[in-house]
Amino acid sequence: MSVPHAPGASGGVPSVPRAFRTESDALGELAVPADAYWGVHTARALENFQVSGVPVAAHPPLVHALAAVKHAAALANREIGALEPHKADAIASACRAIAAGRHHGEFRVDVIQGGAGTSTNMNANEVIANLALEELGHERGRYDMLSPLDDVNRCQSTNDTYPTALRIAVSTSLDGLLAELALLSAAFTAKGTEFAEVVKVGRTQLQDAVPMTLGQEFAAFGTTVAEDTDRLRETLPLLAEVNLGATAIGTGVTAAPGYAEAAVRHLRALTGLDLRPAADLVEATSDTGVFLHVSGVLKRAAVKLSKICNDLRLLSSGPQHGFAEICLPPRQAGSSVMPGKVNPVIPELVNQIAYAAAGADVAITMAVENGQLQLNAFEPLIGHLLLTTVEWLTRGCHALRTRCVDGITANTEHLARRAAGSVGAVTALTPYIGYAAAAAIAKRALATGEPVADLVAAAGLLDRDRAIALMWPSAAGG
């Protein structure tokens, strides 16, 4: 009877016959490519989960986090005498290689999978075990010498290693997003300074309101981004609470005495994160609320960035028949049929990232809500969507800053002409001439096109120069 081949073992007609090794699990034997570091459990997952086409390797922060968790576990098991030193050292060496960016292509299972992340954990166990076997001078697959389950996964369950790795992966990914958000906020603030003397008409509900400066508008964008940066940073301590040592459902079954404390301590040292064990491991194993919270904060940041991009698109609309208050740097031809047309492609890019973030938040909400009893089986989807959202937002913020905001210019003369004829400036006179008189002046100015200051002076309400002085300092915040 022939041994079934793992998926991907024979695609097309190879020029050189590929060698295989035979591995077995509770379901039977399976032929695995001899040069693969993954094994039978990964092969089963490759058969079962062919959905997104996105492998775990597409999320390097998760691969690094898995390696860190396995590294910490090996060190802890050695410390408490649960794992032979030579095995612990070999496992640690394998984890260091993965942390250095090597062998990521071996993390092949699809990010969308049943089993609460078991396939990802098995994939990590097998890759690390086979790397460790080579370190010890053995062939891949010699699990009698060092086992993916009995050694690499000692004192562990998917249900504590996978969520711990997800928390670390999201936390480290957020570092990059926080840095880009800070730079974007600074870019908007710099434009606020650059445009500090550029007077324009503010608008509420898309109708003319009162004078302001373009600098105030851009400075407000900077403040908005800075606030969302702070809100995201506040999620980091929540992500630092881990359930490592909880094993299957939080009771610590199969974990040796002293393992949990040692594992978290080593993981803290390996990651540089201020990790701490959850106070209630049963609750921490079943609850995924922190991921829902982070998703909500990401959605908030994404939606507010999208609102800013909507404003940039509106303010730059034209060039002849729109607002035309600012110019976005041209990045590419905008039409295959209309010569000379240039579109606001970078803000549009960020808009779509925001829509994806909002959609991801809905899916994460459903996944969190559908966890049952002592475990949430849908953490693979939660993790994939969170990491993707963070990655897209990070890249989107970088593109928005470097390919849009930094190059924005003001149509100063156009803004000055519009501001000079603004009826909304009469609002600043209401404390001096009263609301009714100001409304009458505004109505006449709109009908005749006469300057507000001239009409106020003609009505004997205020001296013309006094009216001008009262109206226009308001644009500078006076």
Q: What is the pLDDT along the chain (478 residues), one digit of tens a residue?
A: 445 666 655 444 455 567 999 999 999 999 999 999 999 999 999 999 999 999 999 999 999 999 999 999 999 999 999 999 999 999 999 999 999 999 999 999 999 999 999 999 999 999 999 999 999 999 999 999 999 999 999 999 999 999 999 999 999 999 999 999 999 999 999 999 999 999 998 898 999 888 899 999 999 999 999 999 999 999 999 999 999 999 999 999 999 999 999 999 999 999 999 999 999 999 999 999 999 999 999 999 999 999 999 999 999 999 889 899 999 998 877 676 777 778 888 999 999 999 999 999 999 999 999 999 999 999 999 999 999 999 999 999 999 999 999 999 999 999 888 877 778 788 888 999 999 998 998 899 888 888 888 888 899 999 988 988 888 764 444 4
State pTM to two decimals: 0.90
Q: Which one of 119, 154, 189 terminates a domain?
A: 154
CA distances to 140, 159, 161, 282, 302 from 376, in Å: 33, 9, 14, 12, 26
157 is catalytic: no
In a domain, 169, yes or no: yes
Q: Which of 358, 387, 412 marks a domain boundary?
A: 412
Range of the structural domain that residue 463 is part of: 421-476
Q: CA separation (Å) from 94 to 104, 138, 156?
A: 12, 14, 18
Q: At residue 391, what are phi and psi to the nearest 5 degrees?
A: -65, -45
Looking at the structure, do residues 128 and 182 belong to the same domain, yes or no?
Answer: no
Do 108 and 225 belong together in one domain? no
Last residue of a domain, one of 412, 436, 455: 412
| 253 shares its domain with 378 | yes
Statement to judge: residues 98 and 79 lie in one domain: yes
Helix axes of 60-79 and 118-135: crossing angle, nearest 10 degrees: 60
Give the separation between CA 251 and CA 70, rounded to whole angstroms: 20
CA 408 to mean position of chain CA atoms: 26
- Note whether residue 463 is domain-resident: yes
Catalytic residue among 286, 306, 335, 336: 335
For residues 435, 439, 441, 446, the Cα torsion angle rounded to the nearest 10 degrees is 160
User: Do 194 and 408 form a contact (C-beta atoms < 8 A)?
Assistant: no
| Domain CATH for 83 | 1.10.275.10
Mark whether 388 and 439 lie in a shared domain.
no
**1 within some domain:** no
Q: Is residue 7 part of a domain?
A: no
Regarding whether 117 and 87 lie in a shared domain, the answer is: yes
Domain co-membership, 174 together with 241: yes
